[in-house]
Amino acid sequence: MNSVPNFEDEHANTETHGGAPARALRILALVSAHGGAMTLAEITEALALPKGTAHRLCSLLVSMGYLARDVDDRSYAVGKALRRLALNTMKHRSVQSLRHDILVELVKQVGETCNFNALDGTQVVYLDRVEGQWPLRLIFDVGSHVPLHCTASGKLLLAHMPASESSRILPYLRLDARTPSTITCVMELERECRQIREQDYSTDREEFIAGMVAVAVPVRDSRGDVRAVVAMHAPTARMSLDRAIEMLPYLNKAARDMQGVL
C-alpha cells in the first residue's frame, strides 16, 4: 500500500483561502494517493478534519462521481469521474506527443505495434499506440478498452494493484474464455500475477486473440508505483513468444523514458 502523504504543510495556505473546495481537493488527493479504499475515520485522521465536515464533503464527492462507495459501503474509493480526469490528464497534448515519439522509436527497434496503456476501472484503456508497418496487424483505436485477465497489459496492471484492491476486484472479474488459452480460474490468475511481479513483465500467450502474442512492462512514477504499461503485440505467424520476450530490453528502455512524461 502506498504511504499516505503529509498534506498539512503543503496545503496550509490553500486551506486558509479555499475553505470547503480546498478540503475536498485534499480528500481527493489523499484517497487517490492511498492506493485503495479509505474509511471515513482514516480520512478524518489523516487530514485532521472534523468528522461531520469529512462526511459531508465525501458525500458530495460521491454524488459528483469523484469518489465511490467501496463494496462494504463504509469506505471510499476513487470514482469514475476522478479516473476519467486522471486519464484525460495523461492524454494531454503537451505530453502526448512526447510519449508518442517514444513509441515511434520503440516500433523502429522491435518492428511491431506498440502501445501505451493504463488502468480504467476494471479494464485496460489504450492511451496511445503506434502501428508496425505490416499488412497483417491488429488495430485498436486510442481509447479502446480490453480485459484485464487475458491481456499482457491487463495482467501486469492487475499484478501490481495493492493487495487490498486486487482481492476486492478478482472475485467480480468475468474471466471469459476468449481463446482456448485464456485463464478462467481465479487461483490460476493469482499465480500468474505472482509470477509477473517476480519477473517484472507480463505475456499474452494467445489468451486474448488466437494467433497473437504480446509482452508488457510496467511504467513507474518517481515513487516506484506502476502507473501505466508499455506493450508490444505481434501475430505468431511473424513472431514467436520467445522472440517477443527477447525484445524486453527495448520495452524497458521505453518504459523508463515514459516515466519522465507521465
Alpha-carbon distance 46 to 184, whole Å? 40
* pLDDT, position 73: 66
The answer to whether 245 touches 55, Cβ cutoff 8 Å, is: no
Alpha-carbon distance 182 to 173, whole Å? 13
* pLDDT, position 11: 40
* pLDDT, position 16: 42
* pLDDT, position 158: 95
* Encoded amino acid at 79, one letter: G
Q: Is the pLDDT assigned to residue 195 strictly greater than 50?
A: yes
* Encoded amino acid at 238, one letter: R
* pLDDT, position 92: 63
The answer to whether 32 touches 43, Cβ cutoff 8 Å, is: no
Alpha-carbon distance 45 to 214, whole Å? 44
Q: Which residue has the cell 462521481?
A: 65
Sign of CA dihedral 198, 154, 117, 227: negative
Tens digit of each residue's pLDDT (9 = 90 or more) over 14-66: 344 458 888 999 999 888 887 678 899 999 999 999 999 999 999 999 999 88
Report long-range pairs for 14-20 (Cβ below 8 Å, ≥24 apart).
20/57
* pLDDT, position 20: 85
* pLDDT, position 74: 76
The answer to whether 78 touches 32, Cβ cutoff 8 Å, is: yes
Helix or strand run (H / E) with residue 62 = helix 51-64
* pLDDT, position 5: 43
Domain 12-79 shares a fold with domain 91-259: no
Q: Which residue has the cell 463504509?
A: 74
* pLDDT, position 206: 97
Q: Is the pLDDT assigned to residue 69 strictly greater than 80?
A: yes
Q: Is the pLDDT assigned to residue 85 strictly greater than 80?
A: no
Name the pairing type of β-strands 212-220 and 202-205: antiparallel
Alpha-carbon distance 241 to 234, whole Å? 9
* All structural domains of the chain with their residue ranges: 12-79, 91-259
Could you tell me where the DSSP H helices lie in 160-225? 163-169, 186-199
Tens digit of each residue's pLDDT (9 = 90 or more) over 229-249: 999 999 999 999 999 999 999
Give mean pLDDT, residues 168-195.
92
**0.75 exceeded by the pTM?**
no
* Encoded amino acid at 120, one letter: D
Alpha-carbon distance 251 to 248, whole Å? 5
Q: Is the pLDDT assigned to residue 13 strictly greater than 60?
A: no
Split at pLDDT 50, 70, 90, the class of 93 is low
* pLDDT, position 239: 94
**3: which 3 cell numbers?**
504511504
Q: Is the pLDDT assigned to residue 71 strictly greater than 70?
A: no
Alpha-carbon distance 23 to 9, whole Å? 14
Q: In terms of CATH architecture, what is 12-79?
A: Orthogonal Bundle (1.10)
| CATH superfamily to which 91-259 belongs | GAF domain (3.30.450.40)
Helix or strand run (H / E) with residue 127 = strand 123-130
> Using only C-alpha atoms, what is the Rg of the chain?
20
Mean pLDDT is lowest, of 78-82, 122-126, 179-183, for: 78-82
